[in-house]
Every structure is written in structure tokens, then in C-alpha cells.
Homo-oligomer: A and B are copies of this chain.
Amino acid sequence: MAVYTEVSDEALTEFLALYDVGSVVSFKGIAEGVENSNFLLRTTKGQFILTLYEKRVAAADLPFFVGLMEHLSRRGVTCPQPVRNRAGEALGTLAGRPAAIVTFLDGLWIRRPNVRHCAGVGEAMARMHLAGADFSLRRENALSLAGWPPLFHAAEAQADSVAPGLRDEAATELAFLAARWPNRLPGGVIHADLFNDNVFFLAERLSGLIDFYFACNDAFAYDLAICLSAWCFEPDNAFNVSKGQALISAYERVRRLGDDEVAALPLLARGAALRFLLTRLVDWLNVPAGAKVAPKNPLEYRDKLRFHQRVRSAADYGLVR
């Protein structure tokens, strides 16, 4: 979430007239996240988030994202609920971009998660995995194994300017994973980006999940592997096994991992770390002029990758069997 596109008053009024949301009383750009332009919209009828989908989100994928939020919401997963306009459509056009209004979710994202936050995320992710089981649309994970080589090639020439040896390190890992990546693990709809800024809490109670714009069909355990890197490392990039244990055991109280998933977890964690290393590297090397977001440091994920390379089994993450 950020602001890449200005919305004129006339265009906003015209757009809102298609909806039964009342008239606008406040409209402010939100300075969070990286992919889309997001605005906090207050109307005479309530508070909403208005999102303009920028070019990194494919318009063809939007029905999947919007449908998924509706689907999960109906099954008790607290997430933004798309607001349909009077024609029954959840997607419109504003300032030349696809746009949607979703309900506003109370809660704060946690800057420094503790063990209890990690447990909350594990449980919510497992519930989401189960709730997505009967969702009818499919979306391939564009940022899994097949998506990594193009990212690597986009960044490799300049990678060593970020850190000496980074190019070779990424190339070696890419080859290692390509030879071993599992493709028969239990799967379904995963969030694929459940970082701490996409999970809201009120005190220590999880109040909702947001930002489903990387959601796709993939292995459930891969989603968990992403969270291990996103939630269970300390600011100095040391893995906190108490957090790992809290995350995994809370997940397993809702959905127990199979032996194949447990065995694959270290490899999946390496893949997840490489995925974020590569996308952050590409973003780092290509900051657009005038962007109102700061790119995230790719080296954080190099360090996490190195940790996962040293892991012997899922027990090192705190999994208890």
C-alpha cells in the first residue's frame, strides 16, 4: 500500500456515485506497503479502503483476489470485504486503473511481533488454508520456482553492487532448489505474503488479514515457510525458535502437517527466502523516480536464506513430533 496515482475530486465523486456507500467526508492516501495505491475513505455511511490496482497487479487476476476475499469473509476469516456497486460489481475503474472499495478492518500491524503474535498468525493461516478449500477460482503462483530465473536474470548484472558475491550465491541456490523443489505437497489457496504488515491485531488478539494480492494456489507448507522468515527472526536476523514453535504448533492445532510437509519445510523455507531476496533485489535496483515508498533491503533475506541452508530438519524451527 502506498500512493502512486492521484485521484481528482470529480473522478472520485463520479466513482462513488456508482456505489451505495454515501457521500465522501474524507479521503487520504495511506503510506504503507508497496504494490497498489491505497486510500482511506470515510463516507457518511462508514469507513472503507479504496484501492487502485497499479501495473504490477494483472487485471486478469483481480476477480481471483476479490472473489477470494468474499469467499474467505463468508467462511469466518476476518479480512476486507469487497463492496459491490449498484450493478453488483466489485471491480470498477478510477483514474484509469482498476479499482475496488473494501471494508475497513480495525487493528494495527505489529512492528515487533512476540511469541503470542506468532501463534495468532499460525492459527489464522491454518484457518485460511481450510476456508479456501472450496474456492472455485485458481491462480498459479507466479513467484514460485519458474518465476525466479527471470527475476534473477533481471538483477544478476548488478547484484554484486549490493553485496560482493551475491550473484553467485543466488545462482547456486537457484540451481540447488530447481533440482529438488517438491511438487506433490498438499496445497490450496495460500496467502503467499503474510508479513507482519498484512496481519492486524487489537492488543494481542488477531483482528484480521489483509492484502491478498499475492494469493495463489500452492503448497500450504510453503505459506508457512514464508511466515517462518517473516515472523520468527529477530531484528539482527537471528532465528527465534520460540517464535517458530509458537507459529508451527498454533498452525498444527488447526491443520496438522503431513510427514511430507514436515520433511520439505527446510527446503520450502530456502525457496521462500530466495523468492523475497530476488524480488527485493529487483526492487532495490529499480526504484522508480518519485516513488513514495522505500525499497526493502534484500540482504535481510540473504541472511535468512543462509540460516535456512544450515537447518537440518523442521525440528530446528521448533516443530515438535
Contacts and interface: CB of A to CB of B under 8 A. Distances in A.
B292 A202 contact: no
Interface stretch (A24-32, A86-94, A126-134, A187-195): A24-32
A29 B26 contact: no
B31 A112 contact: no
A30 B31 contact: yes
A293 B106 CA distance: 26
Contacts of A110: 9
A3 interface: yes
Nearest to A106: B25
Nearest to A203: B23
A95 to B, nearest CB: 10
A107 B26 contact: yes
A290 interface: yes
A236 interface: no
A115 interface: no
A25 B107 contact: yes
Interface residues of A, number: 33
Given A9-B110, A106-B42, A293-B292, A29 B27 contact: no
Contacts of A8: 111-112
Contacts of A3: 31
A237 B117 CA distance: 52
A28 B30 contact: yes
Contact of A292 (B9, B31, B40, B289): B31
Interface in A1-35: 2-3, 6-10, 12, 24-32
B31 A2 contact: yes
Given A3-B31, A30-B30, A202-B25, A9 B108 contact: yes
A104 to B, nearest CB: 8
Nearest to A47: B42
Contacts of A31: 2-3, 28-31, 292
B292 A294 contact: yes
Contact of A290 (B2, B12, B294): B294
Contacts of A178: none
B32 A32 contact: no
Interface string A21-57: 0001111111110000000101000000000000000
Given A202-B25, A292-B31, A6 B111 contact: yes
Contacts of A263: none
A280 to B, nearest CB: 14
A291 interface: yes
Contacts of A293: 292
A28 B24 contact: no
Interface string A274-303: 000000000000000111111000000000
Interface of A: 2-3, 6-10, 12, 24-32, 40, 42, 104, 106-108, 110-112, 202, 289-294
Given A2-B292, A9-B112, A26-B107, 7 more contacts: A7-B111, A12-B108, A24-B108, A25-B107, A28-B30, A289-B294, A292-B292
